[in-house]
Amino acid sequence: MKKTLLSVILIVVSFSIFAQEEESEKFFKKENLFTGGTVNLSFGNLSTALGVSPFVGYSLNKYVDVAATLGVNYISQRDYNVVGDKLRQTVYGPGAFVRLFPVKFLFAQAQYEFNLIRQKYIPAAGSGYSLDKLKLDAHSVLLGMGIASGRSFPYQKSYYYFSIMWDVANAPYSPYKDNLKRAVPIIRAGYNIALFQGRR
């Protein structure tokens, strides 16, 4: 009788511990949080872009990271047809991305951005045109891939990364198109900071 009771208690305790572990797996884990930032450059036909994008995100598992981001970019273009004309833009807005890591040093990335654009057209001296300012918006969908210096899971490490992407959406005012409306490569480098890791 004592052996049976002891066996039942052990089974109940084991099941309870297993259930608690399973339950804890379903909830948000703060050690999966990360933050960081990106510096991006793009160069195209008579155009240059510089920007920064801080982000905060969460590692769903060893293969997938998701994050929310806020970007600020400055873009300068020269007119192909009228020598001396310039177009300058300040672009800012929210976004989100997902990164897929087939291995810890290589990733594919898809990113959505809603870009609020403040545009200034500066005509060449003597062209007969006047300075013009516009407020526009554009949706961008960026796809590309990159390399990382050593992402880890579940005990995360901070790491550097480098990526190249293109805007595959057809928004007419995309900040990632040159003055001939062609997609230009977006080169980004940044640092991913693991949070709440404690001592390992």
Residue spans of the domains in the chain: they are: 32-194
Q: Indicate if the pLDDT at residue 27 is higher than 90.
A: no
C-beta separation of 154 from 31 below 8 A: yes
- Mean pLDDT of all residues in the chain? 82
CA atoms of 140 and 160, how far apart (whole Å): 24
- Going from the C-alpha of 3 to that of each of 6, 9, 12, 140, 171, the distances in angstroms are 5, 10, 14, 67, 73
Q: Indicate if the pLDDT at residue 145 is higher than 80.
A: yes
Whole-model pTM?
Answer: 0.76
- 73-132 per-position pLDDT tens digit: 998 877 655 566 888 889 999 999 999 999 989 999 999 999 999 989 888 776 667 778
CA atoms of 38 and 50, how far apart (whole Å): 11
Q: Fold for domain 32-194?
A: Porin (2.40.160)
Q: Indicate if the pLDDT at residue 12 is higher than 50.
A: no
- 160-175 per-position pLDDT tens digit: 999 999 999 989 888 8
Q: Indicate if the pLDDT at residue 4 is higher than 50.
A: no
CA atoms of 81 and 111, how far apart (whole Å): 33
CA atoms of 53 and 42, how far apart (whole Å): 14
Q: What percent of the chain has pLDDT over 90?
A: 48
SS3 198: coil
SS3 146: strand
CA atoms of 25 and 5, how far apart (whole Å): 30
CA atoms of 47 and 74, how far apart (whole Å): 11
